[in-house]
Amino acid sequence: MSLLARNFSKILVQATQTAGVRSLHSSLPSLNETGISERPDTRITCTLIPGDGVGPELVYSVQEVFKAASIPVDFESYFFSEVNPTLSAPLDDVAKSISKNRVCLKGILATPDYSHTGELQTLNMKLRNSLDLYANVVHVKSLPGVKRRHEDIDCVIIREQTEGEYSALEHESVKGVVECLKIVTAKKSQRIAKFAFDYATKNNRKKVTAVHKANIMKLGDGLFLRSCEEMAKLYPKIEFERMIVDNCTMQMVSKPQQFDVMVTPNLYGNIVDNLASGLVGGAGVVAGASYSANCVVFEPGARHTYSEAVGKNVANPTAMLLCSAKLLRHVNLPQYGDMIRNAIEQVLKDGKIRTKDIGGQNSTQEFTYAVINNLKMPSRV
């Protein structure tokens, strides 16, 4: 059985082409984080992109855990990289695989310096645009046993990631003068706003905060903010607030517990993602996912390849393992996903096995084995 029925996917594609806030409310694809409605009869095939830096080591950790737990997922692997372009699989092949399988587990892709080549779009941007991965969702949550300045953080950052400052539209009009275009459209602003309110509704969240800079960028961010305000009227049970991005970053480090769901344009979301990840333990412990109408790519929530740690067996696999747990829940294997998450939390709570980034001296392999030793098989699958 496929992850999404063919007829339903056709409806979703048609729905995304409609315009207007009220028509969007009734027609755009709503978030379905629990995946397909029935348990699959066969094994799941998932596209696997190890990524750069320590990505392959983290992916290997996931594969070891899946093997130990006999999880019915087969990986279709692609080496995909722009720092090693001669060895990389073509973008079209990778995009076709993800479109076919509807799910992907992906490591972080490093971005080389393109200042001398004239190439403006990164491979990440090309993949997102090819698949229309418009919504990036990062769940930032305090983990047991990981002590930080702030406790009890539990917020979700939802970022529009197909336009804004990441449109790759730059040019040098005259020598020494560069113009960089920030693209904001009503259609995509309404779409991400609806996604955020749908997410809040589905996951019993109480508040959505729109992060903006409309006081300065009155047209661009003003359009984004108005789209969020109009969408908020259709969800009267969800509290809505507006917050200027510079105030938002101060509030995040002062009292992050006040945030629930945040919806942001592209650049602000990227900054807030990384700031929030630092509050709960860093890039090694935060999972993320990028959604289109038809597929999901699960990847760490903060972009860090830790290239200096490659081959040293010291990277923290927690974020990638949490990504895999979210993936399993999405494809209707929630008991397996819960099993992995519970094992991670037990290891962290025990405090005996920790990687260097969270105050320990243990290796990636030792942490992985500790997770495997704490796996408790579901009673009924």
Q: Which pLDDT tens digit goes with each residue over 87-146? A: 999 999 999 999 999 999 999 998 887 655 567 888 999 999 999 999 999 999 999 989
- With a cut of 80, say whether residue 329 has pLDDT above it: yes
To the nearest 10 degrees (0 to 180), the angle between helices 55-69 and 364-373 is 20
Alpha-carbon distance of 319 to 240, in angstroms, equals 30
Adjacent-strand bridge partners of 263: 158, 210
Tell which residue, 345, 336, 349, 348, has the closest CA to residue 376. Answer: 336
pLDDT digits (tens, 9 = 90+) for 242-273: 999 999 999 999 999 999 999 999 999 999 99
Please state the domain extents for the chain: 31-133+287-381, 149-280
* SS3 call for 210: strand
Query: DSSP class of residue 214?
Result: T
Taking residue 92's Cβ as centre, other Cβ atoms within 10 Å add up to: 9
CATH of domain 149-280: 3.40.718.10
CATH of domain 31-133+287-381: 3.40.718.10
pTM: 0.85
Lowest mean pLDDT among 6-10, 287-291, 301-305: 6-10
pLDDT number for residue 307: 77
Query: Which H/E stretch holds residue 68?
Result: helix 55-69
Alpha-carbon distance of 288 to 304, in angstroms, equals 13
Distances in whole angstroms, Cα of residue 75 to Cα of each of 45, 98, 105, 130:
6, 11, 9, 21
pLDDT number for residue 5: 41
pLDDT digits (tens, 9 = 90+) for 13-69: 333 333 333 333 433 444 444 344 444 457 999 999 999 999 999 999 999 999 999
